[in-house]
């Protein structure tokens, strides 16, 4: 074999093997749980080893089948999601997933989240919030709008007094979230207490109804 060709073939094989390894590592991971209060914010850490299109999506408002094939019951609270890079900088936030999510069979509202981002290799943090407990950004350390108000959705008028959606429908505290096309992901055990200060300084009582 030509000596100049052999190294090129070897390089191509190595690149192909590396690409196959990255593809094999990519996974779709599912998490479920329950909140104890409207202002609770679960966090999820995930890692990607190459430039990737990553999706963070919820299932619990309208129900469906999550990435691991588990049926999710309809009826959870109206969710929001956000993603932060390894420095804590927010790189994306979303309320409703639009045409990417199904409507609730009970009320016809498509309030699940579906956030897709093109992300460089690294470690990221995703957050799950009850609408409208938005990330106050631009950093994770800036906290969340409703921290310190454990029943803020009672202002929407549902009889349960917690986990109400913005139209006053009673919803549950259950959540289901997928992190798609990542190498690994896990639930973060506890939130940093620094959020509490940032959120308290920026707390606003804003009540609005989202469009049907």
What are the domain boundaries of the chain? 26-201
* Mean pLDDT, range 118-134, rounded to an integer: 98
* Mean pLDDT, range 128-149, rounded to an integer: 97
**pLDDT surpassing 50 at residue 193:** no
* CA dihedral of 85, 142, 61, 153, whole degrees rounded to 10: 180
Q: Where residue 190 falls among pLDDT bands split at 50, 70, 90?
A: low
**pLDDT surpassing 80 at residue 68:** yes
Range 103-142 burial, b when 16+ CB lie within 10 A, else e:
ebeeeebbbbbbbbeebeeeebbbbbbbbbbbbbbebbeb
Q: Which residues pair with 108 in a beta bridge?
A: none
Report the distance separating Cα 158 and Cα 127, nearest Å.
Answer: 25
Range 37-70 burial, b when 16+ CB lie within 10 A, else e:
ebbbbbbbbbebeeebebbbbbbbbbbbebbeee
Q: What is the pLDDT of residue 135?
A: 98
* Mean pLDDT, range 22-34, rounded to an integer: 81
Q: What is the pLDDT of residue 26?
A: 86
CA atoms within 13 A of residue 203's CA, in its CB half-sphere: 13
**What CATH number has the domain spanning 26-201?**
2.60.120.380
Quote the mean pLDDT of the chain.
85
Query: In Å, what is the CA distance from 122 to each residue of 65, 114, 181?
Result: 28, 21, 13
The CA-based angle 150-107-59, given to 5 degrees, is: 65
CA atoms within 13 A of residue 10's CA, in its CB half-sphere: 7
Q: Which residues pair with 46 in a beta bridge?
A: 124, 185
């Amino acid at each position: 074999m030509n000596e100049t060709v052999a190294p090129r073939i070897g390089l191509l094989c190595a690149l192909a093997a590396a690409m196959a390894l990255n593809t094999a590592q990519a996974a779709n991971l599912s998490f479920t749980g329950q909140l104890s209060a409207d202002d609770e914010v679960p966090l999820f850490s995930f890692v990607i080893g190459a430039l990737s299109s990553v999706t963070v999506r919820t299932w619990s408002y309208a129900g469906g089948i999550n990435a691991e094939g588990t049926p999710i019951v309809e009826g959870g609270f109206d969710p929001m999601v956000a993603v932060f890079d390894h420095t804590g900088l927010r790189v994306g936030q979303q309320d409703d997933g639009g045409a990417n999510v199904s409507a609730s069979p009970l009320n016809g509202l498509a309030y699940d989240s579906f956030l897709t981002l093109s992300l460089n290799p690294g470690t990221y943090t995703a957050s799950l919030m009850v609408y409208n407990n938005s990330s106050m950004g631009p950093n994770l350390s800036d906290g969340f709008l409703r921290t310190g108000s454990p029943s803020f959705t009672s202002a929407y008028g549902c009889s349960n007094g917690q986990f109400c959606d913005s139209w006053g429908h009673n919803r549950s505290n259950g959540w289901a979230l997928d992190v798609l096309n990542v190498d690994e992901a896990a639930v973060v055990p506890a939130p940093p207490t620094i959020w509490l200060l940032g959120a308290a300084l920026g707390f606003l009582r804003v009540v609005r109804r989202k469009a049907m």
